[in-house]
Amino acid sequence: MIPIAILCGGHGTRAQQPINKCFVPVGDKPFILHIMEWWEMQGYTTFVLCRGTGGTLTALRDAQDQLGERFLLNYGDTLLRINAKNFIERWDLSRAPSISAIFDKIDAGVNGFYTHTLDMLDEDVTDLKVLQAELKARGMVCRYDAPVRYDEVGSPPALAATRAALS
């Protein structure tokens, strides 16, 4: 089964939380447990928590040896309740080195990458968004139109909505 990398570096500044966004309480548990439980319900049980001080791409590069040939990426502040089987099938059919879930023209927080793509750019490039832009410019991203909006905890209004939806 493909591992799920979860980016856990966000500090919750916009959400006005004193802790990392993925650990913000939603209902009776930290938000990250909602993410993990969603994937577990679909058979995914290998999680790699990525937290780096050098940027999101650096955090993934630091975890490369745990990610296998390819991996799914879930932002630690976002829960997109999609059918993983459909997502993977779309990626496989495309033969693209990466896939991105999009909802209403916005990155919905779930992506997939072949691990070798993490090394496409120089090591001084530390932001995942730069890699994603480069992959898109080269036509190397498969688009998956998410049928549902994502839940997230990145701002006070979004956190309130997510708490209402998941509690």
Residues 34-51: pLDDT tens digits?
999 999 999 999 999 998
Percent of the chain with pLDDT over 90: 83
Confidence of residue 19 (pLDDT cuts 50, 70, 90): confident
The pLDDT of residue 21: 87
Whether residue 18 is predicted with pLDDT greater than 70 in this model: the reply is no
Residue-wise pLDDT tens digits, 99-124: 999 999 999 999 999 999 999 999 99
Whether residue 16 is predicted with pLDDT greater than 90 in this model: the reply is no
Percent of the chain with pLDDT over 70: 95
The pLDDT of residue 99: 98
- CATH class for the region spanning 4-166: alpha beta
pTM, two decimal places: 0.93
The pLDDT of residue 145: 96
Rg, C-alpha atoms of the chain:
15
Q: How far is CA 147 from the centre of its chain?
A: 17
Segments making up each domain of the chain, as ranges: 4-166
Q: Average pLDDT, stretch 17-29? A: 86
DSSP state of 116: G
Residue-wise pLDDT tens digits, 63-77: 999 999 999 999 999
Half-sphere exposure of residue 114: CA atoms within 13 angstroms, side-chain side: 14
The pLDDT of residue 10: 62
What sections of the chain are H helices per DSSP? 31-40, 56-62, 64-67, 84-94, 128-137, 156-166
Task: Output 119 or 17, whichever has higher pLDDT.
Answer: 119
